[in-house]
Structure 1
């Protein structure tokens, strides 16, 4: 099992645990924050910075790790 798969499974487990402990709307705010914060940070970048971020992702994909 890859590290990314383990992280996803852990995230789902934590999400279900928070849903069980907290009211649904607090869990929804937590999930929106976890998803929305990186998206907002990416959108705050200049177009040249976004190109560099995309290039890093492509370079990492081809590295074989």
Structure 2
């Protein structure tokens, strides 16, 4: 599991716990942890996305 996915899962869990006590604070944590990185990825142009995917593949292979 990548570091990003661990952070996203952790922020999701923390956000759900915070939603019990303060709904809006939990919602902000979930949006900040998940929606902002996804939006940033979609803002990349196709060439940048391709390079990003290649870099991630190399890390998975262990090069």
| TM-score bracket for this pair, using the shorter chain length | 0.5 to 0.7
> What does residue 35 of structure 1 align with?
34
Relative contact order, higher structure (CA 8 A, sep 6+): 2
Q: If the length of structure 2 is used for normalisation, what is the TM-score?
A: 0.66
Q: Mark the CA change 1:3 to 1:45 in structure 2 (over 3 Å): closer, same or farther.
A: closer
> Contact conserved, 2:41 with 2:49, CA < 8 A, in 1?
yes
Offset, 1:42: 0.6
Higher helix share: 2
Runs of 4+ in 1 over 6 A off after TM superposition: none
CA distance in 1, matches of 2:21, 2:34: 20
CA RMSD of aligned residues (A): 2.7
Count of residue correspondences: 59
Q: If the length of structure 1 is used for normalisation, what is the TM-score?
A: 0.65
Structure 2 regions of 5+ residues with no counterpart? none
> What does residue 15 of structure 1 align with?
15
Structure whose CA Rg is larger: 1
